[in-house]
């Protein structure tokens, strides 16, 4: 018994039983599993039922439909995910038929009577090409999986950011009403709107415009606009004065800044 060396199963299709038998014997002797077929319809049925078929040896002139039509039917069955290679066999040296077959997607062709050693080498070449394509497909599949994981992670980050913005807005609604320093604000801060006052407090905490924008769910340019409005309305010259003005009302620094 010969040891199976190849994981690729070969579909051997020819209308002549003797040719099919000869080809299967050659391939099986060299470690290939073969599935013999005597018609195009039988080949289509077997190909659809057995995903392990990766190589097809097919006579160009077959009953029911020729080898080019058969190859087209097999491609439809294979779809985008299944990879296979096909070798055409012909007993006619019609150049147009050969061109038509190669354009349809056949990887190679051999003319009858066949040189079996030459055919075996051709089968081995197509097996190597098939394995390379399968490895490439697997690498692409792994890459797509990693890209999907990355996309999912980015989506999660965006969702977390939206949640954080939502909590920030919720916190802002309560802060405006319950902030303890609201009762001790300097007089020149009482004219500020709730949003302007909120921005001023965040500035006094040492937060950057970017951090304030993230917390409030607004753009950084909008934060800059609010800061400019607050400085103008409170007659402050810079963020440092603004921060000191909103520090503890008992602080000497606070008294000195608000006295001006």
Considering the domain architecture, whether residues 13 and 138 belong to the same structural domain is answered as yes
Q: Which residue has the higher pLDDT, 259 or 14?
A: 14
Instruction: For residues 13 and 104, state if they share a domain.
Output: yes
Is 169 within a domain?
A: no
Residue after which a domain boundary falls, among 144, 171, 187: 144
Q: What is the mean predicted confidence (pLDDT) over 202-230?
A: 88
Instruction: Report the domain count for the chain.
Output: 2
- For 115-167, write each residue's pLDDT tens digit: 999 999 999 999 999 988 888 888 887 777 777 766 666 765 656 566 666 65
Q: Are residues 13 and 140 in the same domain?
A: yes
Bridge-partner residues for 59, per DSSP? 89
Whether the model pTM is above 0.85: no
Round the average pLDDT of the chain to a whole number and report it: 81
Closest CA to 91 of 14, 27, 25: 14
Q: Please state, for a pLDDT cut of 90, what percent of the chain lies above it.
A: 37
Q: Domain for residue 246, yes or no?
A: yes
Interval 59-109: pLDDT, tens? 998 878 889 999 999 999 999 889 999 999 988 767 888 888 889 999 998
- Residue 14 belongs to domain spanning: 9-144
- Statement: residue 177 has pLDDT above 80: no
121 by Cβ neighbours in 10 Å (0-12 / 13-18 / 19+) ranks as exposed
Given 124, 144, 164, which residue is the final one in a domain? 144
In a domain, 67, yes or no: yes
Q: Residue 65's domain is classified under what CATH number?
A: 3.40.50.2300
Residues 126 and 184 in one domain: no
State the average pLDDT over residues 10-32: 95
Domain assignment present for 3: no
Same domain? For 140 and 14 the reply is yes
Question: Are 32 and 61 spatial neighbours (Cβ–Cβ below 8 Å)?
Answer: no
């Amino acid at each position: 018994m010969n040891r199976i060396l190849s994981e690729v199963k070969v579909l051997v299709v020819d209308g002549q039983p003797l040719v099919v038998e000869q080809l299967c014997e050659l391939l099986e002797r060299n470690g290939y599993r073969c599935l013999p077929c005597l018609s195009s319809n039988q080949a289509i049925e077997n190909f659809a039922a057995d995903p392990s078929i990766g190589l097809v040896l097919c006579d160009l002139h077959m009953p029911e439909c020729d080898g080019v039509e058969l190859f087209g039917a097999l491609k439809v069955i294979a779809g985008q995910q299944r990879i296979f290679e096909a070798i055409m066999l012909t007993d006619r040296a019609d150049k147009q038929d050969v061109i038509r077959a190669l354009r349809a997607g056949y990887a190679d062709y051999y003319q009858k009577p066949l040189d079996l050693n030459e055919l075996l080498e051709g089968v081995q070449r197509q097996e190597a090409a098939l394995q390379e394509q399968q490895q490439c497909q697997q690498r692409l599949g792994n890459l797509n999986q990693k890209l999907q994981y990355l996309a999912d992670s980015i989506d999660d980050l965006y969702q977390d950011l939206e949640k954080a913005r939502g909590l920030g807005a919720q916190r802002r609604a309560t802060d405006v009403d319950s902030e303890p320093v609201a009762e001790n604000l300097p007089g020149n801060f009482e004219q500020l709107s709730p949003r302007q006052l909120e921005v001023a407090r965040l500035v006094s905490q040492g937060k950057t415009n970017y951090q304030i924008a993230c917390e409030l769910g607004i753009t950084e340019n909008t934060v800059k606009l609010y800061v400019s409005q607050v400085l103008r309305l409170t007659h402050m010259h810079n963020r440092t004065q603004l921060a000191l003005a909103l520090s503890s009302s008992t602080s000497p620094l606070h008294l000195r800044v608000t006295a001006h």
